[in-house]
Amino acid sequence: MSRSTAIAAGLGPAAAEQSAAAGPRRAPGWRGPKLRKKTELTILLAPALILFVGFVLVPIVIAAYYSFYSWSGYGPLNDYIGLRNYSYAFQDPAFIHAIEHTLMLTVASVVIQGPLAISIALLLNRKFVGRGFLRTVVFAPYVLPPAVTGVMWSLILQPGGFADQVLKSFGLGGLVQLWLANVHIVLGTVFVVLTWQYLGFGIVLLLAGLQNIPKELKEAAEIDGASPWQVTRRITLPLLAPTVRIWGFITIIGSLQIFDIVWILTEGGPANASGTISTYMYLEGVQSTDFGFASAIAVILFAFCFVFALFYQRFALRRDTRGAITRAVG
Amino acid sequence: MRSSRALAAVAVAVATATAVAACSSGSSSSSSSTSTTSGASSSSSASASTSAGTAAKVTLTWWNNATNQPLLGVYTSAIKGFEAAHPNVTITNVPIQNELLQDTKIPLALEGNNPPNIYQQWGGGVLGQQVASGKVVNITSDVSSWISGISGASGWQANGQQYGVPVDLHVVGFWYRKDIFKKVGITVPTTLTQLESDDTKLRAAGYAPIAVGSKDRWPDAFWWEYFALRDCPQATVTSAIKSESFSASCFATASTDMAAFLKTNPFQTGFLGTSSQQGAGSSAGMVASGKAAMELQGDWDPSVMEGVSTNKGLSSELGWFPFPQTPGSAGSQTAVLGGGDGYSCTGSTAQAQACAEFLQYLDSPSVQAQIVGPGASGEPVVTSESKAITLPATQTAAAYFKTASYEELYFDTALPTKPGQNLDTAIANYFSSPNSGNAAAIANSPQTP
């Protein structure tokens, strides 16, 4: 402790001296700092900018370009069909179902995972024996790669598998279903697995948000005679709101694009009953090598996410990002 | 070694023929012989210069899906054998996981400027699509001297030209557990009615009669396609694939027959969610572990079962029988569904020529015997080498294969990729709910945009 303060004290004046010495020397040149700032910006931003343009913007433009062609991936790009890929997409019941499934998963993620994550985070924010262990356990599924999760759950959920055995051993054999083979419940099964995987992420994010709420506020409220519920309702939750909004953003974008777990669990089946926009895109693009059509799907998905992101930034995240986004936009 | 001697003999023969043709006065017969040998003469001069040791170095990259033994070892030693006979040729073997290879790497490579010189494909309409890239070399003249001895080679043609060569063939049929059949007291069915009564007995004895991996969709397609082969004359099947439409009434009959069969509840519980090859819960795993008595699959199935099961005595318990007959229906009762693994060539003329020579080497009897030998799967393209097959069930399949009235390529491969995938999806949907709307969807599936 004492040594670290000594070092801090030793460093402090030296640093201050340095900056003081640097200050006046630069002051006379008017253009100097501006030029320096520009150079700095260029050097620091260029790599990120090049990567962003090369790996994000250019592919989006190329995908949009491909989407106007009927193109199998072989041979030249010469069969221009205008917007027909888009009209085909919206005429295909499988794609309409894929949109429905994607939206259902997205809404369910927010409506069910949200309150669950908040309540578990509030619980885990209290002091009790084994809290650290429980936090680790809750976060553990998120650490698994989604592919591993998919394979593991497809084994657990196979007919007569672990899930069925557990239900039977509790005398709940009547609840046993064909989890992945029944077209009516397969989407629900997929959602449960998604929740298992991603709930931990929400909890950890919200726990971090809870750490940032000053204790003094709660203490003051308690001194004023607020009940624990009132403290949670009036102090904790409002102050947690920015974190919840960020969690919502990540969850919704993630749900709109969900692919890996769904693909491994069901490949979008049976009979498209669990297909999402991304699995549909993969089927059409990679398996059917209809790259023009799949590009159109990609553009539609991009448009979905982009429009959502803009609206969310504008209306939900506005307070959190004031000065960063809002000023640039406005 | 044997093949290089054969090659030298061919070279001499061709050179003599050309010389004779050049000397003779231009009668009609000699001019035709000139035209047939003109394509081959370039290869003869090349192989002649090879033996003279003046040929330029040729480097070939070989993409295949032989990531596991024993085929990996067979391919590695084939490269060694070929390089020893052709000192100017170097082949780099690049085994790539199957789905990655077929779905992603090959399409992208054929779009790029440096595709692999030898790459694996399954022939049919997909090969036709690949040919459209302009990168696949027409090797008709390079293989004309020996291709007639290769079974199934016509499946690797596009526009009547040879754009690839098969190195092994596959046949789809029933892989069944002899021990379970014996225990339940049933025999191998020859008609669909017998199969259905066997199923009833198997279910009564507590077994899932037939396992199917519907999650992957293509195993469902095997079923519907076999019903189509039984219900439709060969000409109808051929023209349906060529015109990419299954609107002929016999295909509707096939759908109806399929629905009637599905009604007998022949498959394992929850078959719509079962994968075909992954893990003990897959359809192959269920047969291997004795939960199911049989499954309709290609002849790679025994090796898949071995991979997902700990049952050491499996190979002796496994039997094979063809898809049952449906007496009275319009199609061939002994037609088989199948396919094979083949290779195509890309690159410069010298590379394509070396590639064709390498494919000839792979199709030589000694290498064929290794390709279908112990632990491997499939039938040889040189029928005499089916004696090298060690697994009794596969031997049965190979013997039947020789007597089949004809072999039809899996429909999803015979069609171009998208119509083929549409067909698989439509059939899988029909499996999930066999109603008239889904049957109509099968008929139109290849046409779906």
pLDDT (tens digit, 9 = 90+) per residue, B8-57?
444 444 444 444 343 433 333 333 333 333 333 344 444 444 444 457 89
User: Would you call B102 an interface residue with chain A, using a CB distance cutoff of 8 Å?
Assistant: no
| CA atoms lying within 13 Å on the CB side of residue B40 | 21
> How many beta-carbon pairs below 8 A join chains A and B?
101
Query: In angstroms, what separates the C-alpha of B270 from chain A's closest C-alpha?
Result: 5
The verdict on a CB contact (< 8 Å) between A158 and B274 is yes
pLDDT exceeds 90 at position B170: yes
pLDDT exceeds 70 at position B141: yes
Place of tokens 């069609």: B415
The verdict on a CB contact (< 8 Å) between B425 and A283 is yes
**Number of Cβ atoms within 10 Å of the Cβ of B395:** 15
ipTM topping 0.90: no
pLDDT exceeds 60 at position B325: yes
Report CA-CA distances (Å) from B86 to A75, B10, B15, B370: 33, 16, 20, 20
The verdict on a CB contact (< 8 Å) between B103 and A288 is no
Residue in A74, A160, A181 nearest the CB of B130 = A74
Confidence of residue B256 (pLDDT cuts 50, 70, 90): very high
Residue in A159, A273, A286 nearest the CB of B269 = A159
The verdict on a CB contact (< 8 Å) between A270 and B432 is yes
State the sign of the Cα–Cα–Cα–Cα dihedral B345, B351, B356, B358.
negative
Confidence of residue B356 (pLDDT cuts 50, 70, 90): very high
Q: Between B226 and B37, whose confidence is greater?
A: B226
Arithmetic mean of pLDDT, A172-193: 92
Residue A37: both structure tokens together = 């700032």
User: Would you call B132 an interface residue with chain A, using a CB distance cutoff of 8 Å?
Assistant: yes
Question: Which residues of B fall within a CB distance of 8 Å from A186?
Answer: 273
d(CA B376, CA B389): 8
Three-state SS letters, A289-313: CCHHHHHHHHHHHHHHHHHHHHHHH
Whether the CB-CB separation of A157 and B279 falls below 8 Å is answered with no
pLDDT digits (tens, 9 = 90+) for B398-432: 999 989 999 999 999 999 989 999 999 999 999 99
Backbone angles phi, psi at B98, to 5 degrees: -55, -55
pLDDT digits (tens, 9 = 90+) for A14-45: 444 444 444 445 444 456 778 898 999 999 99
Minimal-distance CA residue of chain B relative to A75: B133
Query: Which pLDDT value is given to residue B201?
Result: 96
The verdict on a CB contact (< 8 Å) between B428 and A73 is no
pLDDT digits (tens, 9 = 90+) for A122-169: 999 988 899 889 999 999 999 999 999 999 999 999 888 899 999 999
Q: Which residues of A touch B (CB under 8 A)?
A: 72-75, 84, 88, 92, 94, 154-155, 158-161, 178-183, 186, 266-267, 269-273, 283, 286-290, 293
User: Would you call B122 an interface residue with chain A, using a CB distance cutoff of 8 Å?
Assistant: no
Arithmetic mean of pLDDT, A98-122: 95
Arithmetic mean of pLDDT, A311-315: 90
Query: Which pLDDT value is given to residue B98?
Result: 81
Interface test with A, best of B268, B271, B432 (most A CBs within 10 A): B432
The verdict on a CB contact (< 8 Å) between A161 and B281 is yes
Span A93-329: which CATH code? Answer: 1.10.3720.10
pLDDT exceeds 60 at position A104: yes
Residue in A84, A94, A266 nearest the CB of B273 = A266
Question: Which residues of A fall within a CB distance of 8 Å from B103?
Answer: 286-287, 289
Query: Which pLDDT value is given to residue B14?
Result: 41
Arithmetic mean of pLDDT, B175-200: 96
Residue A174: both structure tokens together = 């009547």
Per domain, the residue ranges of chain A are 93-329
Q: Between A117 and A319, whose confidence is greater?
A: A117
Query: Which pLDDT value is given to residue A323?
Result: 57
Whether the CB-CB separation of B58 and B88 falls below 8 Å is answered with yes
Arithmetic mean of pLDDT, B207-213: 96
Query: Which pLDDT value is given to residue B255?
Result: 96
- For residue A7, the one-letter residue type is I
Confidence of residue B297 (pLDDT cuts 50, 70, 90): very high
d(CA A23, CA B205): 92
Arithmetic mean of pLDDT, B155-167: 91
User: Would you call B110 an interface residue with chain A, using a CB distance cutoff of 8 Å?
Assistant: yes
The verdict on a CB contact (< 8 Å) between B103 and A286 is yes
Query: Which pLDDT value is given to residue A321?
Result: 67
Whether the CB-CB separation of A281 and A301 falls below 8 Å is answered with yes
Question: Which residues of A fall within a CB distance of 8 Å from B115?
Answer: none
Query: Residues 400-429, chain B: which have Cβ within 8 Å of A?
Result: 416-418, 421-422, 425, 428-429
**Number of Cβ atoms within 10 Å of the Cβ of A47:** 9
Interface test with B, best of A67, A157, A288 (most B CBs within 10 A): A288
Interface test with A, best of B97, B418, B422, B430 (most A CBs within 10 A): B418
Strands B318-321 and B165-177: antiparallel
pLDDT exceeds 50 at position A315: yes
| Longest distance between any two alpha carbons in chain B, whole Å | 80
Query: Which pLDDT value is given to residue A326?
Result: 45
pLDDT exceeds 90 at position B196: yes
d(CA A82, CA A84): 6
Question: Which residues of A fall within a CB distance of 8 Å from B129?
Answer: 72, 74, 289
Question: Which residues of B fall within a CB distance of 8 Å from A283?
Answer: 421, 425
pLDDT exceeds 90 at position A115: yes
Average pLDDT, chain A: 86
pLDDT digits (tens, 9 = 90+) for B100-122: 888 788 888 988 888 999 999 99
Minimal-distance CA residue of chain A relative to B129: A74
H or E segment at B391?
none
pLDDT exceeds 90 at position A74: no
Query: In angstroms, what separates the C-alpha of A273 from chain B's closest C-alpha?
Result: 10
Query: In angstroms, what separates the C-alpha of B331 from chain A's closest C-alpha?
Result: 29
Residue A242: both structure tokens together = 């920015």
Arithmetic mean of pLDDT, B191-206: 96
Query: Which pLDDT value is given to residue A324?
Result: 52
Query: Which pLDDT value is given to residue B18?
Result: 40
User: Would you call B272 an interface residue with chain A, using a CB distance cutoff of 8 Å?
Assistant: yes
Confidence of residue A286 (pLDDT cuts 50, 70, 90): confident
What DSSP letter does each residue of B283-329 carry, written as one string?
Answer: HHHHHHTTSEEEEEE-TTHHHHHHHH---TTHHHHEEEEPPPB-TT-
Residue A74: both structure tokens together = 């072989």
d(CA A316, CA A91): 33
Query: Which pLDDT value is given to residue A133?
Result: 92
Query: Which pLDDT value is given to residue A297?
Result: 96
Whether the CB-CB separation of B381 and B151 falls below 8 Å is answered with yes
Query: In angstroms, what separates the C-alpha of A133 from chain B's closest C-alpha?
Result: 33
Q: Between A65 and B36, whose confidence is greater?
A: A65
- For residue B188, the one-letter residue type is V
Query: Which pLDDT value is given to residue A14?
Result: 42
The verdict on a CB contact (< 8 Å) between B432 and A72 is no
Q: Report the alpha-carbon angle B196-B197-B203, nearest 5.
A: 90
Query: Which pLDDT value is given to residue A45?
Result: 93
Query: Which pLDDT value is given to residue B150?
Result: 87
